[in-house]
Chains A and B, each alone.
Chain A
């Protein structure tokens, strides 16, 4: 087996499959049933967004939770709807649904479940309204804010965003490689960044850069992931110097112009310059380490290096798997001069 087969084996281990989420989907449907039965909420159409909808989900590492994102498209006009009211109502309906209750976050209401006594899953419910709910293709708005005071409607285009990513690369082996590459990078990200705070770059940032810069390399996921990693590296620019004279880096990326999001948005906006500089250093190391893999001729050694980058799910073939059998021979003596 060559390196490509090892990459595909790795993908098989990390990718989130339908069965991984079966439990969570059942839980989601119970939640949605409760919301639908409530007289306090207007009619909504649900829609699956987030990494799972884009076929880019990876299994969470031990310290993280499975999650599923559900868009609730309320059939209302935003002019007649309060951006906080629905979130508050969702919260009130679901706050006693699980032991962990619900939390109102800036972009959504989160309901957390536990498994074996630990928080293990969460469902993010995202509320949307329309400019004109009779025009299903019209502008949509996401309800943002954590309190009644700071809430607002912000232009969003969630359905088209999922389509944009799903259709970014032509169907077939190219699209499959594109999705694998993003899953590899998400696995790398999960291992190299802490999940708390905003130090970890958002997945949508990496996904969008990949969508714009992916190049297909037949049977060569290594080169494909190197190309996207270098594209991420190239997005950084020097913003400033810190007190020691070391460069401080910035990275900015708007959602695609063809989509109808609030103008001036930046998917990396929550990261501080310090966090972005940390991100840059990790990407630099990733590119260096991947280049070293490309230069290494020995398959087992390549896999050893890759398992340092991507974790133990990247298996290392044994030397006996990768080596030819030999007829034993060694000269008993030798005379050099």
Chain B
């Protein structure tokens, strides 16, 4: 899928969306999932291609209503991608919500604000929340607490 972000366009590869969709909390006992979104900024076309991600790891803490990314494997994966040449940027977090149409929680917004403060590489992060019926992408930044919904798509409309 393609959407317009803050001064750039983002292309989310189908494989990323398919992986996230496999984690949606469509059963009463399914826990939240999450990970990071990783992409490349193209030299031409003002485009970010999100083509790598991480998925829940054994040491992450997960419940019906929370996902705490704690396992170091997420960071290891990112560093491994950039081993030869650093062309991959951290784009944002993704996680699931046990609701049809997701909205960021207070905890999510606090988390995104903290990340915005830490990220010295990019001034805007794009975070995804996957509901059972829709997925949404929110931009956080460039100013602190500046959060905007950039795209919301029904799973069925993505042609996956």
Contact = CB atoms under 8 A, between A and B. Distances in A.
Contacts of B41: 323-324, 326
B45 A331 contact: no
B68 A327 contact: no
B121 A326 contact: yes
A337 B105 contact: yes
Contacts of B119: 329, 331
Chain B interface, >50% SS class: mixed
Interface string A286-303: 000000000001110100
Contacts of B70: 333
Interface stretch (B21-29, B87-95, B133-141): B87-95
A319 interface: yes
Contacts of B72: 332
B120 A329 contact: yes
B111 A335 contact: yes
A19 interface: no
A329 B89 CA distance: 7
B158 interface: no
B108 to A, nearest CB: 6
B68 A333 contact: yes
Contacts of A26: none
A326 B78 CA distance: 12
Contacts of B79: 328, 330
Contacts of B47: 297-298
Chain A interface extent, by class: 20 to 34
B86 A326 contact: yes
B139 to A, nearest CB: 16
B87 A337 contact: no
B155 interface: no
The residue in A327, A334, A337 that gathers the most chain B C-beta atoms within 10 A of its C-beta is A334
A333 B61 CA distance: 11
Given A298-B47, A326-B86, A333 B42 contact: no
B87 A334 contact: no
A336 interface: yes
Interface string B102-146: 000111100100110011111000000000000000000000000
B148 interface: no
B45 A319 contact: no
Interface residues of B, number: 46
Contacts of A326: 41, 82, 86-89, 121
B68 A328 contact: no
B154 interface: no
Contacts of A329: 89-90, 118-122
Contacts of A331: 90, 114-115, 118-119
A320 interface: yes
A297 B10 CA distance: 9
A325 interface: yes
Interface string A302-330: 00000000000000000110111111111
B44 A336 contact: no
Given A334-B69, A334-B115, A328 B82 contact: yes
Contacts of B122: 329
Nearest to B35: A334
A143 B3 CA distance: 62
Nearest to B67: A336
5 contacts: A299-B44, A326-B87, A334-B115, A336-B34, A337-B106
By Cβ-Cβ distance, the 7 closest A-B pairs, closest first, are A337-B107, A329-B121, A336-B95, A323-B87, A334-B69, A323-B40, A327-B121
Interface of B: 2, 9, 11, 32, 34, 36, 40-45, 47, 49, 65-70, 72, 74-75, 78-79, 82, 85-90, 93, 95, 105-108, 111, 114-115, 118-122
Given A324-B40, A326-B86, A333-B69, 14 more contacts: A299-B42, A322-B42, A327-B86, A328-B78, A328-B121, A330-B36, A331-B115, A334-B34, A335-B67, A335-B69, A336-B69, A336-B111, A337-B32, A337-B105
